[in-house]
């Protein structure tokens, strides 16, 4: 991770094919295309790889989450349960629809704690949205049981975990809806792009229309299409989709490289007394994009992270102090800093996160260090990195 590390001739050839037609938009201009429909091609490839009936490409992972929620009828005042550890896009997509992001604690999976989820359910709850952060998944079996018990939708945010699996199913395909990001730093990239997957025909049809101004896409005359409901513009371009057509063919190759490099790093630091690792739920296999480990205390973790960075271990993250990925620095959410007036439902029902107690999350995140696993490392570079990590961590504990 990320896929741009291994850009090559296939990506260039796919993009050139689009440029040769002169049609950069995914819809219309049929006569000029010379049979090239890159968005449709990528959707078909993803459908096959993920084992789902339907795929809708959109302009970003954030768009995928927004469209997925909208496709299921989520709107003003509806509550969506999400974790304290994620990227801000998770709550942005919820707020964009006037819905309420309900933050709950994580556990040693670094994702949703099922007990915390069940405790947070109210009469307004409509969706449980686990976020498979840093390549691994939530306790999906437990979360699915909770959703079935309470009649809720399970929406998997798998934007950082494409290629992982649970109970033999690709991540994203286990719930009612799944979302991926193909931005520049994801395991496979379109530069910018995203997708939602589902086996629900109604959700797919809604997503298809909603992401293109409400176009019903019936017939061959775009101007004559009808608009059964309001929609917005979340379209992907043919240029972005073309890059994805090349990258998706290499997904399993990328995962294999990540798994090998991850294994070298993990095996080396596993010998350090006091290092433990993030729990991967039974039946799950992560995509190996990040190595996530716990140290004995927040102080040790913070100091060790600084030592690793100063010692030349790049792409090393201490999320506890991060502006974008952990609730502690989300003051724009806590204080509802918005350019325009937010819906009354948001102002009225949003929990007061300035008074929230997420100490159970803090106990995990305060001790967590994440290290990105790159695709472009040579065997020698991986080995050297592993030894450097071992030596630094051993001194700091």
Tell me the two tokens of residue 187: 């395991």
Strand partners, 82: 103
User: Measured between alpha carbons, how far is residue 260 from residues 98, 147, 385 in Å?
Assistant: 43, 35, 14
Specify whether the CB–CB gap between 279 and 136 falls below 8 A.
no
Exposed, middle or buried, 380 (CB in 10 Å: 0-12/13-18/19+)? exposed
Q: Which of 38, 126, 144, 186 is catalytic?
A: 186
Place of tokens 């049979």: 35
Residue 160's closest CA among 277, 51, 258, 38? 258
Q: SS3 sequence, 196-236?
A: EEECCHHHHHHHHHHCECCCCCCCCCHHHCCCCCCCCECCC
Query: Rounded to whole angstroms, how far apart are CA atoms 45 and 243?
Result: 13
210: left (phi over 0), alpha (psi -120 to 50) or beta: alpha
Specify whether the CB–CB gap between 278 and 350 falls below 8 A.
no
Q: What are phi and psi of 4, to 5 degrees?
A: -65, -15
266 belongs to the catalytic site: no
Query: Rounded to whole angstroms, how far apart are CA atoms 389 and 310?
Result: 12
194-198 and 284-285 beta bridge pairing: unpaired
Q: Which residues are catalytic?
A: 186
């Amino acid at each position: 991770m990320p896929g741009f590390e291994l850009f090559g001739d296939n990506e260039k050839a796919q993009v050139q094919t689009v440029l040769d037609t002169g049609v950069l938009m995914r819809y219309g201009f049929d006569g000029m295309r010379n049979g090239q429909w890159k968005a449709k091609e990528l959707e078909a490839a993803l459908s096959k790889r993920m084992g789902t009936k339907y795929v809708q490409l959109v302009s970003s992972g954030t768009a995928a989450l927004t469209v997925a929620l909208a496709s299921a009828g989520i709107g003003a005042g509806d509550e969506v349960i999400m974790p304290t550890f994620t990227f801000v896009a998770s709550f942005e997509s919820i707020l964009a629809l006037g819905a309420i992001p309900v933050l709950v604690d994580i556990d040693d999976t670094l994702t949703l704690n099922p007990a915390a989820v069940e405790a947070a359910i109210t009469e307004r709850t409509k969706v449980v949205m686990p976020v498979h952060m840093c390549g691994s998944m939530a306790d999906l079996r437990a979360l699915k049981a909770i959703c079935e018990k309470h009649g809720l939708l399970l929406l998997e945010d798998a934007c950082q975990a494409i290629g992982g699996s649970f109970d033999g199913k690709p991540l994203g395909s286990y719930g009612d809806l799944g979302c991926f990001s193909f931005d520049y730093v994801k395991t496979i990239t379109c530069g910018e792009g995203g997708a939602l997957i589902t086996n629900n025909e109604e959700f797919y049809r809604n997503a298809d229309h909603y992401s293109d101004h409400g176009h019903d896409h019936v017939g061959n005359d775009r101007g004559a299409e009808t608009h059964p409901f309001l929609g917005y513009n979340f379209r992907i371009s043919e240029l972005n989709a073309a890059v994805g057509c090349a990258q998706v063919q290499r997904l399993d190759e990328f995962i294999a490289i990540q798994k090998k490099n991850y294994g070298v790093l993990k095996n080396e630091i596993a010998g350090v007394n006091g290092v433990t690792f993030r729990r991967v739920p039974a039946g799950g296999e992560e995509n190996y994009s990040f190595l996530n480990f716990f140290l004995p205390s927040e102080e040790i973790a913070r100091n060790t992270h600084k030592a690793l960075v100063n010692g030349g271990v790049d792409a090393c993250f201490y999320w506890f102090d991060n502006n974008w990925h952990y609730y502690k620095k989300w003051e724009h959410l806590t204080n509802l800093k918005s350019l325009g007036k937010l819906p009354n439902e948001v102002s009225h029902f949003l929990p007061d996160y300035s008074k929230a107690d997420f100490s159970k999350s803090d106990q995990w995140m305060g001790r967590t260090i994440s290290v990105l696993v790159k695709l472009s490392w040579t065997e020698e570079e991986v080995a050297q990195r592993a030894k450097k990590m071992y030596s630094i961590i051993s001194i700091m504990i």
